[in-house]
Amino acid sequence: MAIEVNGTSIETTASGYLANLGDWNEDVAKVLADAEGIELTDKHWDIIKYLREEYYNHNQNQPMERQLLKDMGKVWGSKPTSKDVYKLFPLAPTKQGTKIAGLPEVMRKGGY
């Protein structure tokens, strides 16, 4: 599979994740989000940046939902609920968010 971003074809896996993590940029994120039916807001970007930071700066960590909620509370000033972040990423913030962030697919079961 492939997506079209600014006239360039970018390969994705069968489940829609980037085949080459180096292809990611904000324009790619917008196209991936659009394919998921998501219009990115500042809160989406906060989570995307957080997921990328955790992956690239913390030994390829892909945080569970509980840790994401705790850490977003520090960024946003109050801890969000699961419901809050599922409004942003309805198919699971740590999975759908990871896809839009251009990171490898999370293969673990569950999300909390």
What CATH number does the domain containing 49 carry?
A: 1.10.10.370
Q: Determine the Cα angle at 24 with ends 67 and 64, to 5°.
A: 15
pTM over 0.85? The answer is yes
DSSP 90: T
Residue 107 placed within a domain: no
Residue 96 placed within a domain: yes
* pLDDT of amino acid 76: 97
Q: What is the mean pLDDT of residues 86-110?
A: 90
* pLDDT of amino acid 53: 97
In sequence order, the 6+-apart residues with CB closer than 8 A to the CB of 21 are 102, 103, 104
* pLDDT of amino acid 106: 86
Residue 109 placed within a domain: no
What band does 81 get if pLDDT is binned at 50, 70 and 90?
Answer: very high
DSSP 12: B
* Residue 106 half-sphere exposure toward CB, CA atoms < 13 A: 23
What is the percent of the chain with per-residue pLDDT over 90, rounded to a whole number?
Answer: 90
* pLDDT of amino acid 107: 76
